[in-house]
Amino acid sequence: MTNWQATVLTLFPEMFPGPLAHSLAGRALRESLWLLKTIDIRGFAHDKHQTVDDTCVGGGAGMVLKADIVDAALTHACSQYNEEKPAIIYLTPRGEPLRQPRVRSLMKNNPSGCILLCGRYEGIDDRVIEKWREEKGLIEISIGDYILSGGEIAALTLMDACVRLLPGVVNKQESLESESFELDLLEFPQYTKPQNWQGKAVPEVLLSGDHKKIATWRQGQSEKITKERRPDLWDAYLKNDLSHQK
Ligand code: ADE
């Protein structure tokens, strides 16, 4: 059993667990392999209108989440964890682009879980982000170079990636290890029966029963596809591979 807990700070708690309920992560949640808690940011408003945002200082369209409200919500979220410090993550397109090594390091360095802060509107008053970065090591993560209407879908994405690495969530350790990105290469093509489908045959080598030959073919395919589609990953792989040989 792990005690890995994700605590999501959001104005839309009903978005969780959302699609995660129907995936591997959802099954793991029902089996208590991880915990999910949502905290409604609006609950920290202190006026009768439950105001959480205000207009941008300096002008401009849209509303900004207020620093004192987000600060109170983050403090409350932290109180859910005991001695071990959770990772504190603000989901924003301005953050570090999410890649598998970051997912791995989060799971290794923060076994108690993470606090996921989801922004809406034009953003969050930057002073509260700066305070939590300086004092508690908050990090900012982006799931890609596009603008979502809020951090919630990014938080769901990050949680899915994290939960898969918990023991017992993905059945075979082997399937985790062979997966794309663990080795910095994209995955080789997969096939199932029938052997011939609409005039397309499964590559002959896969029917040979020669495991060594099959592994070599798959490695070759992974390299070819990575080279063609993701020269950035290919370069990183070559560098890594060379450094391993040293
Ligand atoms: N919020 C809005 N867009 C986002 C993105 N691309 N990544 C993370 N959080 C976001």
- Residue that the structure tokens 């499964």 belong to: 202
pLDDT in tens, 80-132: 998 889 999 999 999 999 999 999 999 999 999 999 999 987 899 999 999 99
Ligand 1 center to residue 196 CA distance, Å?
43
Q: Ligand 1: which of 15, 89, 91, 139 to mutate, most ligand atoms within 8 Å of CB?
A: 91
pLDDT in tens, 50-87: 999 999 999 999 999 999 999 999 999 999 998 889 99
- Which ligand 1 atom sits nearest the alpha carbon of residue 145? 6
Cβ-contact 159, 35 below 8 angstroms = no
Ligand 1 center to residue 139 CA distance, Å?
13
* pLDDT greater than 70 at residue 33: yes
Q: Would you identify the CATH topology of the domain 180-245? A: Trp Operon Repressor; Chain A (1.10.1270)
Ligand 1 center to residue 151 CA distance, Å?
5
Q: Is 153 in the pocket of ligand 1 (CB under 6 A)?
A: no
Q: Is 143 in the pocket of ligand 1 (CB under 6 A)?
A: yes
Percent of the chain with pLDDT over 70: 93
pLDDT in tens, 142-195: 999 999 999 999 999 999 999 999 999 997 655 665 555 565 899 999 999 999
CA distance 124 to 149: 13
* pLDDT greater than 80 at residue 246: no
Q: Is 147 in the pocket of ligand 1 (CB under 6 A)?
A: yes
Backbone CA torsion sign across 177, 16, 10, 61: positive
The domain limits of the chain are 4-163, 180-245
Angle made by CA atoms 42, 45, 49, in degrees to the nearest 5: 95
CATH class, domain 4-163, is: alpha beta
Cβ-contact 143, 154 below 8 angstroms = yes
For residues 100, 25, 175, 194, the Cα torsion angle rounded to the nearest 10 degrees is -120
4-163 shares its CATH topology with 180-245 = no
